[in-house]
Amino acid sequence: MSKLFWLGVFLCPSIVAAEPIFHNLQSCTQDGNVTINCSVVLDSNGFILDAGSGKMLSDTAEPTGAFNSFELYRDGSQYILANENISRARSRRWVVFGYEGGKIDLQRIYIFSLDTAKQSGPYWHGYDCRPDFKLFTPRSGVPFSESAMQALCGDVEGNVVVVPKAPAISVPSKSLAVSVPVYRAGTRVGAATYLFAGSDEPNLLALACLSNCVSSTSEKAKLPAGNASSASSVSAIAKETCNPDSFTNPDLIICGQQSFEKVDAVLNEQYKKTLASLSPADRKQLTDVQRRWVRFKEAYCEDLYQAVLPGAEAPIDKLTCLAQTTTARLGELIYLQTGMPNDGFYKAASLMAGQDRESGLKASINLLGGGDFDDPVWKQYADGQCEMSFRLFREDLAYCAVRMRFQLPMNR
C-alpha cells in the first residue's frame, strides 16, 4: 500500500476513523534464505519453528496445497499466520500471536469467507475471535492454525451471524467494508466493522478498522486482573430496547434482530451438545453439514431481502427468514442428538392420511412438502443432513428431503 494512498485515507474526513491494523509486515516464511529478525519461522514443509532452536511449535504441518496457502509475517512484536483458500469456498484466516521465551500468546483471529446470494451475487462475511489471554499450547496431531482456531473461535465458523452495517459508517469508493460478530472464548460479545481500502476482497495489507476493532494490547489493559475472560469486561455495542407494542419499522427491526440473536444463541449451545454426542466421524460430517446450512441460510434470506427492496420491510423480512431457518436448523440438531424429529411433520402427515395409511401417507407427505425447491445450495445442505439421519436413524432419504422442504419459510 503506497504512502500517498494512506495519506489520502487519513486526510479524507469521511474515513478518518479507519485505522490500519498492521503497519510494517515482514515475511517470516523460509524460502531457501535465512529469515532475519523473526523469533519464529514457517518452513517449506509447513511447520512453524522456533528460529533459534528449530523446535516445532506444533507437531503437525499446515495443510498447504494447490488451493490452500500459508504465509507467516511479523509486525512489531506480533506474528500473523495468513491462510488463503482459493477453492470455491474462498476464505482468508489470519491468526495473530506473540512469541517470547518459547511461550505463545494468541491475540486475535480474523476470518473472512465468500458466499453468493442468488439475486445480489457474491458477498463477504466473517468473524473476529478475541482471546481470554491464557497462554496457548497447540494440541498434538493438529496444525497450529486449527489448534488456535479451536482455542479462540471454537465452533463459531458454523454459525454465521448477520451484522448490519451502521448507516453512519462511510466507506471510500473501490473499497470493501465487512461487519462481523466479535467472539471471546466462543461467546458473542459485540460486533466490529473492518475496511479493506482500495480492495474489493479481504487483503491483509489493506486491513483497517472502522469500528470496535480494539487492538489486542488495549484490550489487555482494560481487562481486570484475575477475570480476563469475563464477557462483562468487554466493551460491547449497547443494545437498543425492543418495544413489542410498536409496529414502526425501526422497532420491528430492533425486535426482530434481538429475537434472531436469542434463537441463534440457543442454536449454538445445541450445536455443541449435538457434536459432543456423536462419534468422531459423525462430528466431522456434522461440521460440514452445518457449514452447508450456513451458506444456504445466508443466500436464501439475502435473496428474500433483495426481492423486497427497495421496500422498507426488506430488513424485517430478512430477520424473520433468519429466525425461521435457524429455528428449523435447531430442530434438526435436536433430532441428530435424540433421534426424535420435533417439527411436527410426520404427525401432520399421519393425521392427513387418515385411515388409509397405506396409500395416503405418501401422498400427504408430498403435499406437506410443497412444490419442488430447485436450489443447489439448499440441496447440498439437505443431502448432507438426510445422509446423516438415514445412517443414524434409517429415515427414508426421500421423505427426509420433503420434510426439510416443509421447514422452509416459504412453506409456512
Asked if residue 225 and residue 362 are part of one domain, the reply reads no
- Residues 6 or more apart whose CB falls under 8 angstroms from that of 191 comprise 163, 179, 180, 181, 182, 212, 237
What is the full per-residue pLDDT of the chain (412 aa) written as tens digits? 444 433 343 334 344 446 678 888 889 987 645 456 899 999 989 999 998 898 999 999 998 887 889 999 999 889 999 999 887 778 899 999 999 888 999 999 999 988 877 677 788 888 999 887 667 889 888 899 999 988 888 877 655 566 655 555 566 777 888 888 888 877 777 788 899 988 888 999 889 888 777 644 444 433 333 333 222 222 233 346 788 777 787 778 888 888 888 898 899 899 999 999 999 899 999 999 998 998 888 888 888 888 887 777 888 888 888 888 999 899 999 999 998 876 567 766 667 766 665 666 666 666 665 556 678 888 899 999 999 999 999 988 888 888 888 777 654 4
| 239 found inside a domain | no
395: helix, strand or coil = coil
Asked if residue 221 and residue 101 are part of one domain, the reply reads yes
From the CB of residue 236, how many other CB atoms can be counted at a distance below 10 Å?
Answer: 14
| 402 found inside a domain | yes
| 240 found inside a domain | no
- Using alpha carbons, select from 387, 384, 382 the residue that is nearest to residue 401: 382
Strand duo 176-184 + 121-130: pairing: parallel
Which range marks the domain in which residue 108 is found? Answer: 3-233
Looking at 233, 260, 292, which one is the last position of a domain?
233
Asked if residue 259 and residue 180 are part of one domain, the reply reads no
Asked if residue 136 and residue 203 are part of one domain, the reply reads yes
Strands (DSSP E) found in 30-120: 40-42, 48-50, 68-75, 78-85, 91-100, 103-117
Q: pTM for the full model?
A: 0.54
Asked if residue 209 and residue 335 are part of one domain, the reply reads no
| 253 found inside a domain | yes
Rounded Cα distance, 26 and 79, in Å: 9
Asked if residue 194 and residue 254 are part of one domain, the reply reads no
Asked if residue 184 and residue 92 are part of one domain, the reply reads yes
Asked if residue 255 and residue 224 are part of one domain, the reply reads no
> Number of folded domains in the chain?
2
| 244 found inside a domain | no
From the CB of residue 165, how many other CB atoms can be counted at a distance below 10 Å?
Answer: 14
Asked if residue 157 and residue 110 are part of one domain, the reply reads yes
Q: 160 and 178 in contact (C-beta within 8 Å)?
A: no
Q: 249 and 316 in contact (C-beta within 8 Å)?
A: yes
